[in-house]
Amino acid sequence: MSIPLVDLGAQYRPLKAEILSRVAEVLEGMQLFLGPNVQALEREFAAHAGTAYAVGVSDGTTALQIALMACGVGAGDEVITVAHTFVATAEAIVLVGARPVFVDIDPETYTIDVVGIEERITPRTRAIIPVHLYGQPADMDPIMELASRHGLCVIEDACQAHGARYKGRPAGSLGHMAAFSFYCSKNLGAYGEAGMLTTNDARLAERARMLRDHGSPERYRHELIGLNGRLDEIQAAILRVKLPHMPEWNSQRRSNAAHYSALLAGNEAVAVPREAGYAEHVYHLYVVRVPQRDELLAYLREQGVGAGIHYPVPCHLQPALRGLGYRKGDLPATEQAAAEVLSLPMYPELTAEQRERVVEAVEAFYERRPEALVAGVAIS
């Protein structure tokens, strides 16, 4: 039995006829960007996220970049965030001319260590980007309190947290702005690139709408220096078909995660994900921590289990960001996580038989290597 990390086809097949029909309608009308589907998706996604406004954009990275620009972040500014994330979080900061300032993570939730934020604040700090990683929100109330005291903008990187909740409130409604990615493997995924910004601030929403379209409030009049970050109608039409199904899909992800954790409960080598008391985790990824991670990954792949690593090299150690001056050892919790995390297959359609097969393969690896059980991992 071969089990992929993500099975996009399993989700597409039941929706195929409706998706193809909606795409055909777009092509017949030939209004291909910022048309009725984009406008409707913005209203529908804002309702889902519990915000007054949503602004459709081309992708998640562009969503982060536009959010920073809308908040006035630019050359010479500093933005506090984490290094245990996809590089786009830091990349967007650099693209607007600002400097990422990295804070270590909470080793249990993998989200930003709130205690470490204040000591990184300087007169140049303009914003904080907490990352809701793997589907679990960061601890937002103390972050917002801290930002209020220091006059900082908070931009949620919610690119992995569609439908997640913090103390009952939706991710994307907690900061001044939030960025979502609809990359194909996300809990709500397009069949290409797409993204969304959410906010309750009318001024920020209006700036974001202009910035995504070359700073233009109307054709050939440009009030801001913007970029080409428009969401196209085909992707919006596809996402409108999928959005009503997302609560059910997220519920199934949570059920799958609970089953995995129950099956792995007796394995001393495997630290399963921990859901924070304030959170409703939506398990974009099901991430465990294990000793001999790379050897286990190789073994699982030999057994037909499509495991993966998110993320093996933290942002502060990436070659592209070496100019920031960080060194190995600067963020110990981040670096330890990067050496130990392993993503097991996770998608709503994952069957009980598949989950059991994945766990059997993990168990078989450690039965063959009992010395790994002695080593354990720090968080277990």
Per-residue pLDDT, 1: 79
CATH of segment(s) 246-375 = 3.90.1150.10
Q: Which residue from 31, 43, 15, 66 is spatially nearest to 228, judged by alpha carbons?
A: 66
Hey, what's the torsion of the CAs at 226, 120, 84, 163, to 10 degrees? -60
Instruction: Output the six-digit token pair for 302.
Output: 């030999």
3-state secondary structure of 54: strand
pLDDT along the chain (380 residues), means of 10: 95 98 97 94 98 98 98 98 98 98 98 97 98 98 98 98 98 98 98 97 98 95 96 98 98 98 96 98 98 97 98 98 98 98 98 98 89 52
CATH of segment(s) 8-103+110-244 = 3.40.640.10
| Helix or strand run (H / E) with residue 257 | helix 246-264
Do the Cβ atoms of 332 and 236 come closer than 8 Å?
Answer: no
Task: Enumerate the domain spans of the chain.
Answer: 8-103+110-244, 246-375
Residue with tokens 């006035």: 72
Per-residue pLDDT, 369: 73
Which positions ≥6 away from 228 have C-beta within 8 Å?
A: 58, 212, 213, 214
Q: Which residue from 57, 90, 99 is spatially nearest to 226, judged by alpha carbons?
A: 57
Instruction: Output the six-digit token pair for 121.
Output: 């604040």
Do the Cβ atoms of 199 and 66 come closer than 8 Å?
Answer: no
User: What's phi and psi for 327, nearest 5 deg?
Assistant: -130, 160
> Distance (Å, rounded) from C-alpha 135 to C-alpha 355?
19
pTM: 0.95
> Distance (Å, rounded) from C-alpha 81 to C-alpha 112?
7
Complete DSSP assignment for 307-320: -B-S-SS-GGG-GG
Do the Cβ atoms of 2 and 345 come closer than 8 Å?
Answer: no
**Cis peptide leading into 311, omega within 30 of 0?**
yes
> Distance (Å, rounded) from C-alpha 285 to C-alpha 160?
8
Per-residue pLDDT, 256: 98
80: amino acid identity, one letter = I
Instruction: Output the six-digit token pair for 87.
Output: 């590089």
Instruction: Output the six-digit token pair for 297.
Output: 């990954």
Do the Cβ atoms of 140 and 279 come closer than 8 Å?
Answer: no
Do the Cβ atoms of 166 and 278 come closer than 8 Å?
Answer: yes
Do the Cβ atoms of 54 and 45 come closer than 8 Å?
Answer: yes
Residue with tokens 């070496």: 322
